[in-house]
Amino acid sequence: MCGIVATIGLGPAIPVLLDGLRRLEYRGYDSAGLAVVDGGQLTLHRQVGRVRELARQVPGTLPGHVGIAHTRWATHGKVTQANAHPHVDADRRIAVVHNGIIENMGVLKARLQASGVVFRSETDSEILVHLISRYYAGEDGVPAGDPLAAVRAALRVVRGTWGIAVLFADEPDMIIAARNGSPLVVGLGDGQTYLASDPHALIAYTRRVVFLEDGDVARIDARGVQTFQLDGGLVDSVIETMDEVWGDEDSGDYPHLMLKEIYEQPEALERCLSGRIVPAGGTAKLGGLDMAPKDLAKLSRVGLLGCGTAFHACQVGVQLIEQLARVPAKAEIASEFRHRNPLVDPDALFFALSQSGETADTLGAVREIQVKGGTVMGIVNVVGSSIARSCGRGVYIHSGPEMAVASTKAFSNMISALAVFTLMLARQRTLSAYDGRLYVEQLLAVPDLVRRYLENPGPIDTLVEWVKDAGLVLFLGRGLSAPVAAEGALKLMEVAYVPCIAYPSGEMKHGPIALLETGSPVIVIAPRDELRDKTLSNLQECKARGARVAIIHTEGDDIAQHADLSIAVPETSPFFSPLLTVLPLQLLAYRTGLALGCDIDRPRNLAKSVTVE
């Protein structure tokens, strides 16, 4: 992984490839490369570092109307030019870019080496190009000189996941693509066809697209695409029109995308709530669920699945559902879920949360639930993503494009979408119309409260000085604030590389307290709720060990006097406090990363969309 772009048609390939790679930079990567065919010759360029460094290496007059390109996020092999994609066969006549993981790499590599193949990289991806080359030459009964047959034959012997694009010097009028567990979308233009791992790379060129499904192999030329099953015949391609998207991909007047997206949260929240709240009835509607009140009444439990930031949103959602709707609920780390052979209640409803809708572990959990006869829906941001299409039903969170690797506004909108679902479920179960209207009033007020806080965020820079050189930062919170503490720790680690741990406050004395010493920074999330006094006791325990305690609290609460530093957020219902208490933590991560000279929008070793397990 991480990004694939390809094009074929009347226009020159290089500008499209480089532009597409730039549009995919937000996903995170460590090297980039491209290959084009012109006059029967394949030209390859690869570079460690940013796309701009690859662009400097590529001659501005390089000809060719067909090409493939890739940004790599290392899985197998170090970050080197040799490990960058595309990979080529021994004769430099075939080039391959690959997202995914080849699980039987060891066996296949040993077999190829025994037959005389010399590997130039440490990657599993290089195996594919050598296999395709052998079958293209006519081995094992595969018709010689048939690109489609060669790719099919190679994919039959590999195990794992792939999204690939294959370029043949001898076949300059086509690109072969295939998908299994790693997204690919074909864009249809006028005399020009495009391929990408993310629709965002295509939006400047076309809105007419064909999403490849798992098991598809596609023949792409300037006229369009033909799609086949890996072991079968032609597939009817469904042409879809991509919707308009909100926001811009650049940082505008902000120095970084992350900061822009933090400040976009009021508008993002308003979009998420718009048209879904019924104030007069104190209820809500989510048409994408296609569930009537009688369907909600049958639910035995609710399961929420996600990874990273999405999992923290799941933890908030579980508490909302149980406290308000009185329905058993559980948050699951998607990467663990399907590997423990879970029990799936056919009367339960599962939600899969993912900003990109392409998270491989979450998609795997979706498929496991479906295999076991369960009902699963998506809560995603990207329209037409794999999770959205696999589930068929669900909720779009309408954050608009989130381009910084560290997620901010998607976290808030996932919680908001779950808050809307909770209202639907609670009104059907336990919540009166009066209490429903109060809930609605408080929820609709949140975007303005977020806006108000961001106008005056408090002494964040003082807290930056505490944490930027700390050996460890401890985050604490109880109830709905425990996942907020976890999200704050995750953000500070992601953006500023500061070691952090997060614990429910009551668990602090069961281990983490041993780490505290004089001056240790502790960040406590303590809004005015029923657990406020319990949290205060834990705060005092930290102070007694010499720790420096910063508290994020509700405006006007005198709990601030017990801390060394306080940051106040506007008052709201305790149910919606995470949407406000997370804001100082997002700003802390941003400003700490800035103070340490980190690459804010593209942190090291991270990818925006994790499409491999």
User: DSSP per residue over 63-89, as a string?
Assistant: --SEEEEEEE--SSS-S-TTTSSPEE-
What CA–CA distances, in Å, run from 320 to 178, 229, 249, 337, 394?
A: 41, 43, 33, 22, 18
Looking at the predicted structure, is the pLDDT value of residue 141 above 80? yes
523 in the same domain as 470: yes
Structural domain span for residue 482: 457-613
Looking at the predicted structure, is the pLDDT value of residue 523 above 90? yes
Looking at the predicted structure, is the pLDDT value of residue 65 above 50? yes
The DSSP secondary-structure symbol of 193 reads E
pLDDT in tens, 245-265: 544 456 678 999 999 999 999
**Secondary structure element (H or E) that encloses residue 92, with its range:** none
Of all residues in the chain, what percent carry a pLDDT higher than 90?
78
What CA–CA distances, in Å, run from 192 to 171, 197, 578?
A: 17, 17, 47
Pairing between β-strand 31-38 and β-strand 41-48 as defined by DSSP bridges: antiparallel
- Residue where one domain finishes, among candidates 241, 273, 290: 241
127 in the same domain as 83: yes
pLDDT (average), residues 536-565: 93
Rounded to two decimals, the pTM is: 0.84
User: DSSP per residue over 330-380, as a string?
Assistant: EEEEHHHHGGG-----TT-EEEEEESSS--HHHHHHHHHHHHTT-EEEEEE
Calculate Rg over the CA atoms of the chain. Answer: 26
Catalytically annotated residue among 2, 307, 314, 391 = 2
- In this prediction, residue 351 has a pLDDT band, given cuts at 50, 70 and 90, of very high
Q: How far apart are CA 178 and CA 193, in angstroms?
A: 15
Question: With contact defined as beta carbons under 8 Å apart, do 295 and 421 qualify?
Answer: no
276 in the same domain as 218: no
The set of residues, in sequence order, having a beta carbon less than 8 Å from that of 585 and lying 6+ positions away, is 475, 484, 487, 488, 491, 492, 523, 525, 552
211 in the same domain as 332: no
Please choose, from the candidates 582, 545, 550, the residue with its C-alpha nearest in 3D space to the C-alpha of residue 563.
Answer: 550
Pairing between β-strand 349-354 and β-strand 302-306 as defined by DSSP bridges: parallel
Amino acid occupying residue 244? E
> For 68, phi and psi rounded to 5 degrees?
-130, 155
Catalytically annotated residue among 409, 468, 491, 608 = 608
pLDDT in tens, 431-477: 999 999 999 999 999 999 999 999 999 999 999 999 999 999 999 99
Pairing between β-strand 473-477 and β-strand 500-504 as defined by DSSP bridges: parallel
Amino acid occupying residue 75? T
Write out the two tokens for 607: 């990818």
Please choose, from the candidates 423, 442, 450, 439, the residue with its C-alpha nearest in 3D space to the C-alpha of residue 572.
Answer: 442
Beta bridge partners of 351: 304, 377
* Helical segments of 137-205, H only: 147-157
Question: With contact defined as beta carbons under 8 Å apart, do 465 and 521 qualify?
Answer: no
260 in the same domain as 217: no
395 in the same domain as 541: no
469 in the same domain as 323: no
pLDDT (average), residues 585-611: 88
Number of structural domains in the chain: 3
Q: How far apart are CA 47 and CA 79, in angstroms?
A: 10
Looking at the predicted structure, is the pLDDT value of residue 128 above 80? yes
- In this prediction, residue 400 has a pLDDT band, given cuts at 50, 70 and 90, of confident
608 catalytic per annotation: yes
Looking at the predicted structure, is the pLDDT value of residue 611 above 80? no
478 in the same domain as 362: no
Looking at the predicted structure, is the pLDDT value of residue 394 above 50? yes
Please tell me the predicted confidence (pLDDT) of residue 182. Answer: 85
Q: Is 561 exposed, middle or buried (0-12, 13-18, 19+ CB in 10 A)?
A: exposed
Please tell me the predicted confidence (pLDDT) of residue 551. Answer: 97
Q: How far apart are CA 377 and CA 600, in angstroms?
A: 32
Q: What is the dihedral of CA 206, 212, 217, 220, to 10 degrees?
A: -10
pLDDT (average), residues 584-594: 98
Please choose, from the candidates 436, 397, 452, 453, the residue with its C-alpha nearest in 3D space to the C-alpha of residue 575.
Answer: 436
pLDDT, greater one: 606 or 364: 364
Question: With contact defined as beta carbons under 8 Å apart, do 401 and 385 qualify?
Answer: no
436 in the same domain as 465: no
Write out the two tokens for 513: 């307290």
Three state DSSP letters for 470-484: CCCEEEEECCCHHHH
Q: The domain that contains 183 carries what CATH number? A: 3.60.20.10
- Residue where one domain finishes, among candidates 210, 241, 272: 241
Question: Which is it for the CA torsion 267, 268, 269, 273, positive or negative?
Answer: positive
Looking at the predicted structure, is the pLDDT value of residue 284 above 50? yes
Pairing between β-strand 2-9 and β-strand 66-72 as defined by DSSP bridges: antiparallel
> For 260, phi and psi rounded to 5 degrees?
-60, -45
- Residue where one domain finishes, among candidates 455, 486, 516: 455
pLDDT (average), residues 360-388: 92
Please tell me the predicted confidence (pLDDT) of residue 26. Answer: 75
- In this prediction, residue 401 has a pLDDT band, given cuts at 50, 70 and 90, of confident
163 in the same domain as 112: yes
Other beta carbons within 10 angstroms of residue 469's beta carbon come to: 11
Please tell me the predicted confidence (pLDDT) of residue 30. Answer: 87
Pairing between β-strand 234-235 and β-strand 283-284 as defined by DSSP bridges: unpaired
141 in the same domain as 48: yes
Q: The domain that contains 324 carries what CATH number? A: 3.40.50.10490
50 in the same domain as 179: yes
Q: How far apart are CA 141 and CA 34, in angstroms?
A: 31
- In this prediction, residue 391 has a pLDDT band, given cuts at 50, 70 and 90, of very high
Q: Is 124 exposed, middle or buried (0-12, 13-18, 19+ CB in 10 A)?
A: buried
| Long-range pairs, 315-318, Cβ under 8 A, ≥24 | 315/482, 315/483, 315/486, 316/415, 316/418, 316/480, 316/483, 316/484, 316/578, 317/351, 317/414, 317/415, 317/418, 317/419, 317/421, 317/422
pLDDT (average), residues 540-557: 93
Question: With contact defined as beta carbons under 8 Å apart, do 332 and 305 qualify?
Answer: yes
Q: How much is the mean pLDDT over the chain?
A: 92
Please tell me the predicted confidence (pLDDT) of residue 2. Answer: 79
Please tell me the predicted confidence (pLDDT) of residue 609. Answer: 61
Please choose, from the candidates 295, 585, 356, the residue with its C-alpha nearest in 3D space to the C-alpha of residue 457.
Answer: 585
The set of residues, in sequence order, having a beta carbon less than 8 Å from that of 517 and lying 6+ positions away, is 545, 546, 547
What CA–CA distances, in Å, run from 312 to 315, 354, 411?
A: 5, 11, 8
Question: With contact defined as beta carbons under 8 Å apart, do 521 and 550 qualify?
Answer: yes
User: DSSP per residue over 566-594, as a string?
Assistant: EEEE----GGGTHHHHHHHHHHHHHHHHH
**Secondary structure element (H or E) that encloses residue 221, with its range:** strand 216-221
pLDDT (average), residues 315-327: 97
Q: How far apart are CA 498 and CA 493, in angstroms?
A: 5
